[in-house]
Amino acid sequence: MKNLIRRLFGDSDKKENGNYNPSDFFTKSSEKEKREVFRHVAEKANQDQRDVLEKYEKQRSLVK
């Protein structure tokens, strides 16, 4: 996964020099890599949403 992230986003020195192009992910990554990254992002977003709802429910139960 580290190699994938480095390949997609480059090294930190490239970012500082302005050579980083986010669209490279869509144009240069294989379909398998795109699916893997999108799956990971969707899982993370889903977990974040569950955490927010859980926090809301806890706050709501304390108000009653």
To the question of pTM greater than 0.75 for the whole model, the response is no
CA distance 51 to 59: 12
Mean pLDDT, the chain, whole residue set = 81
Identity of residue 28: K
CA distance 17 to 3: 21
Host H or E run for residue 16: helix 12-17
* pLDDT tens-digit map of 8-30: 666 554 555 566 677 888 898 89
Separation in Å, CA 41 to CA 50, 59, 63: 14, 27, 33
Question: So where are the chain's domains?
Answer: 2-63
How crowded is residue 24: how many other Cβ atoms within 10 Å of its Cβ? 13
Q: Provide the pLDDT confidence category of residue 6 given band limits of 50, 70 and 90.
A: low
